[in-house]
Amino acid sequence: MLLDFSTTFAWRCPFCGELELNEINIFYFSGSSRLEIKCGCDFTKLIIIKNNSKRYQLKYNCIICESEHRIFYTQSELWSNQVKKIKCVENGAELGYLGPYAEVKKLADLEEEYLELMMDKLEFEDYFSNPEVMLSVLNILHDIAENSGLICQCGNEDIEIEMLPGKVKLTCHQCYGAININAETKDDLLFLKKLRKVKILEGVVSALERTN
């Protein structure tokens, strides 16, 4: 087994949520048996204690079950080039990674991407009263716009589309006419599907039902 006596932690700070990479090597343990890894916010994320020449202890506060966990690695495990997943001891959820820099970095990047996707998805679903209908309404409007069906009476064809929780607002910035399209129920969707053209009345703010 290859040991290069350096390893990288990817660990999300339980205090500020930042996922940082920290590289350590065996020389940190030459003068001391205890190493604290701190986040940029100064919170101590991990404590590594060298119990003896063959055994290392890793201590961390778990964000999942909010208690302190301790795991042990042998010297060859800790410095090996195999990626180790650090988990919540109670329920097995992955909290971080330990291993060669390149591989740990890849895993950390993936996790950040995944988290961003989840956040976007949650925000999207929280914001709209009916996210599925909203998506379909946007699709239909997009088709209508592609066929030059999204226009304003004043002659402007550059219409701004704004998404609100239960409706879409189309605004003409030339004359400030606007039209609201409901995007909440299946009926809203069926109604919109029949349309080929959405025309804003010059300088008038209206709702789609009344003008069509």
Strands of the 44-52 sheet, one edge to the other:
34-38, 44-52, 55-61, 68-74
Residue 19 in the binding site for Zn ion (CB under 5 A)? no
Could you say which DSSP state residue 2 is in? -
What is the spatial distance between Cα 121 and Cα 17, in angstroms, rounded to a whole number?
A: 19
Query: Is residue 177 a contact residue for Zn ion (CB under 5 A)?
Result: yes
Nearest by Cα to 99 from 87, 74, 82: 82
With respect to Zn ion, which residue has the nearer C-beta, 13 or 133?
Answer: 13
Query: How far apart (Å, rounded) are the C-alpha atoms in residues 93 and 132?
Result: 31
Q: Is 65 in the site for Zn ion (CB under 5 A)?
A: yes
Count of residues for the chain? 212
Q: Is 13 one of the binding residues for Zn ion (CB under 5 A)?
A: yes
Contact string (CB under 5 A) for Zn ion, positions 107-146, x = contact: ----------------------------------------
CA distances from 94 to 89, 115, 197 (A): 10, 13, 51
Q: Decide whether 80 or 171 has the Cβ nearer to Zn ion.
A: 171
172 binds Zn ion (CB under 5 A): yes
% helix, strand, coil for the chain, step of 5: 30, 40, 35
Q: Is residue 22 near Zn ion by the rule CB under 5 A? A: no
Stretch that binds Zn ion, among 72-80, 83-91, 117-125, 191-199 (CB under 5 A): 83-91
Q: From the list 134, 152, 159, 183, which residue makes contact with Zn ion (rule: CB under 5 A)?
A: 152
Task: Determine if 168 is a binding residue for Zn ion (CB under 5 A).
Answer: no
How many other β-carbons are positioned within 10 Å of the β-carbon of residue 199? 17
Cβ proximity to Zn ion: between 90 and 120 the closer is 90
Residues between 40 and 59 that touch Zn ion (CB under 5 A):
41, 43
DSSP 8-class letter at 201: P
CA–CA separation, 27 vs 144, rounded Å?
66
Residues that bind Zn ion (CB under 5 A): 13, 15-16, 18, 39, 41, 43, 62, 64-65, 88, 90, 152, 154, 156, 172, 174-175, 177
